[in-house]
Amino acid sequence: MYQIIQDLKNGDTTLETVPAPAIQDGEVLIRTTYTLVSLGTERMLVAFGKAGWIEKARQQPERVKMVLDKIKTDGLKSTFNAVNNKLNQPLPLGYCNAGIVIGIGKNVSGFQIGDRVASNGAHAEVVSVPQNLVAKVPDSVSDEAAAFTVAGAIALQSIRLVQPSLGETVVVTGLGLIGQITAQLLKANGCRVIGIDIDEVKLTLARNAGIEAVHADSAAAAVYTATNQYGADAVIITATTQSNEVISQAANMCRKRGRIVLTGVIGLELNRADFYEKELSFQVSCSYGPGRYDLQYEEKGSDYPIGYVRWTAKRNFEAVLQAIASGQLDVRPLITKRVPLTNYKDIYDHLSDNQVIAALMEYPEMVNRAASIQLQTHDFSGSNTVLGLIGAGNFTSSFVLPELKKNGAQIKTIASANGLSAAILAKKFEIPTVTSDYRSILNDDQVAAVFITTRHHQHATMVSEVLLAGKDVFVEKPLAINESELNEVITAYQQSKKTLNVGFNRRFAPLAQKMKQLISGSENIPSNIIVTVNAGSIPHNNWLQDMALGGGRIIGEACHFVDLCTFLSGSYVQAVCMNAMGPEKNITSDNVTLLLQYANGTNATIHFFANGSKAYDKERVEVYNQGRTLVLENWKKLTGYGFKGFSSVSGSQNKGHAAQFQLLLNRFKNGGPALIPFDSLINTTQACIAALQSLTEARWIPISDH
């Protein structure tokens, strides 16, 4: 199928051939009939992509600070590679989609095959969208009009924040697509609406809809004249500009204690006096409404009770569709261009054309819905180590594929659920086949080993499936996020007799290997090990913090350091105790201290903190053994105290990814055991699961009993 993407590095907009997305749990699969191009938003994205490095930095100063902090801790090369990789990731364009339901995922209710729907799906022939971001289209509303639903919801949400009442005067600044819709909905709400813009075409369009529309230069005088010199009750800003003049003008036009809501993107250097003297309120509207960017709402399908949250994102979709059906919102005059999908450049090459308010793309009725596509031909018959990859995210693009390709790996197929990310990486790394159905890799007799880099909740099930398909497997950490998943893996491993490898790369780092060498021969002599992880904070609603999706940061991230302690100690964890910062002990806490007791008497302490400075080292390891001390600083410098013939060694940051993949490919090619013993993988996973139990029950948890 076809999908439109944008290259953030150079701003190019292209039509890519990608596999049709797989049907996901909680999602609705839709064949697109129309999509609406949001000219303001997409013009801004394209302009950002076309900007040079300096201009990109100027537009996002907060990102620059993050980059500078990363350079201090990780070095210039590592930071450059990370930024470059981020910019190389394709951006799917579009969020105003109308189409027909062709598939329904598990746990979805309220939809049937053949339903006409509106959603925030991208510019693609087939999209898979969470059910709470999909709404049925009334019979009286055309697909063309339904494509305006999401844009209408953005406008409606800003109105809900303003809370207008009958007879109030509301100014809409910026009469592009969102502004035109906002003005119409305000008028339907019984408000006196004054629209402001600098473009005469947009002003005329608003006047034709019954809106009082004035040029920005004379706006203030018009507003005060219309309101008996009191000023507007509220201003909704839908403009897109770098200028600070818009917010200043909005403040000047408001009456005392007026309200200002920002939907667009503008300069925000506020004049305190403007707001202080009038006691103005200012609020930024968030997209479609409550639920947007909420993991539970969007990905898990949990709705907010209507008695507590009347207008969610989906209910805003439905309200817009009802307004179109009743004639309160007329979007037909806003349509100034219609093009077939394959003629997309007729729109994207003219994004700055002020004559265009709303551009629609039309989609063909017959769509190639193949889950797999062949990008090139390649004969793998002479290779005994053909690989398949499941997962095409940031880790795959920045670490896995570069290292595999550097070592001459024979990769036949890469899979991702949406198809797009896999297709982009397949082209970049010359992988012949791309698919959205990962089971096609399991059924391919040529594939001998599979790499899994998906979200954590999929690891255990996919590992089990790969093992039972008779293939070796590498899975990025963690192996499992709960005990039942771990038991599933153990059963599959015992049945398959294939090798299982987990991405605990730290033990393969040159400095970790050096530490092991320096204390070798003392496996039966206990050590004290202290690991400090300055992990940094991540949003509470990040999928990693969700116990059902990511397992939390202890299982999802701290497992790295449990494995490292196991490697350095030469023993297995016998008991675990964990405590969290603060009075409330929550299993999602990421400010914790883990205590590990090892069978050989070693004590290990792992401090995993999210409240430290980003300017400080992210990882620090200390080992105390027989009157000697080793200190590892951020995988760049190792210092020894009390060692004969060794004082220190340093170099560029190296966390062991390269060595791990090199060793792994050699094992796949020449045979041999997994890089880390299976019992060790299980012990590490058990220790992390037990740590959460320890926090809950406030006691030591013996691993042997777990």
Token pair belonging to 97: 């989609």
Statement: residue 283 has pLDDT above 60:
yes
The reported pLDDT for the residue numbered 56 is 47
CB atoms within 10 A of CB 63: 13
157-172 pLDDT, tens digit each: 999 999 999 999 999 9
C-beta separation of 311 from 177 below 8 A: no
Tell which CATH architecture fits domain 151-284: 3-Layer(aba) Sandwich (3.40)
C-beta separation of 422 from 375 below 8 A: no
Statement: residue 471 has pLDDT above 60:
yes
Specify the length of the chain in residues: 706
Q: Return the SS3 of 479.
A: coil
Statement: residue 704 has pLDDT above 80:
no
pLDDT grade, residue 507 (50/70/90)?
very high
CB atoms within 10 A of CB 416: 28
pLDDT grade, residue 8 (50/70/90)?
confident
% of the chain beyond a pLDDT of 70: 93
Q: Among 290-294, 351-355, 695-699, name the one with the lowest average pLDDT.
A: 351-355
* Average pLDDT over the chain, rounded to an integer: 92
Residues of the chain with CATH 3.30.360.10: 506-702
- CATH for 377-499 is 3.40.50.720
Token pair belonging to 59: 């537009």
The reported pLDDT for the residue numbered 369 is 85
Statement: residue 522 has pLDDT above 60:
yes
Q: Which of 493, 482, 429, 447 is nearest to 677 (CA)?
A: 493
C-alpha to C-alpha distance for 677 and 683, rounded to whole angstroms: 10
Statement: residue 214 has pLDDT above 70:
yes
Name the phi and psi angles at 619, rounded to 5.
-140, 135
Statement: residue 112 has pLDDT above 70:
yes
Mean pLDDT across 313-329:
97
Statement: residue 90 has pLDDT above 70:
yes
Instruction: Compute the CA torsion angle 551, 554, 559, 560 (nearest 10 deg).
Output: 110
Q: Which of 63, 23, 46, 85 is nearest to 425 (CA)?
A: 85
594-649 pLDDT, tens digit each: 999 999 999 999 999 999 998 899 999 999 999 999 999 999 999 999 999 999 99
Mean pLDDT across 237-263:
93
Statement: residue 449 has pLDDT above 50:
yes
% of the chain beyond a pLDDT of 90: 80
The DSSP annotation for 438-459 comes to THHHHT-TTEEEEEE-S-GGGH
Statement: residue 77 has pLDDT above 80:
no
Statement: residue 525 has pLDDT above 50:
yes
Q: Give the CATH fold of the 506-702 domain.
A: Dihydrodipicolinate Reductase; domain 2 (3.30.360)
Q: Is it true that domain 2-148+295-362 has CATH number 3.30.450.20?
A: no
Token pair belonging to 405: 């390709």
C-alpha to C-alpha distance for 256 and 253, rounded to whole angstroms: 10
Name the phi and psi angles at 26, rounded to 5.
80, 5
32-62 pLDDT, tens digit each: 999 999 877 676 666 665 655 555 455 555 5
387-422 pLDDT, tens digit each: 999 999 999 999 999 999 999 999 999 999 999 999
Q: Quote the pTM value.
A: 0.88
> CA triplet 104, 301, 297: central angle to 5 degrees?
140
pLDDT grade, residue 186 (50/70/90)?
very high
In angstroms, how far is CA 161 from the centroid of its own chain?
27
Name the phi and psi angles at 329, rounded to 5.
-120, 120
C-beta separation of 361 from 340 below 8 A: yes
Q: Which of 411, 416, 360, 368 is nearest to 387 (CA)?
A: 411
Mean pLDDT across 127-131:
97
Sheet containing 254-262, strands listed edge to edge, beginning at the edge strand earlier in sequence: 212-215, 192-197, 169-173, 232-237, 254-262, 281-284
In angstroms, how far is CA 332 from the centroid of its own chain?
35
648-691 pLDDT, tens digit each: 999 999 999 999 999 999 999 888 899 999 999 999 999 999 99
Name the phi and psi angles at 10, rounded to 5.
-125, -5
Using the structure block, give the residue that is written with the tokens 């059910």: 131
Statement: residue 568 has pLDDT above 90:
yes
The reported pLDDT for the residue numbered 454 is 97
63-76 pLDDT, tens digit each: 555 555 656 566 65
Residues of the chain with CATH 3.40.50.720: 151-284, 377-499
Mean pLDDT across 180-208:
96
Mean pLDDT across 124-145:
97
Statement: residue 154 has pLDDT above 70:
yes
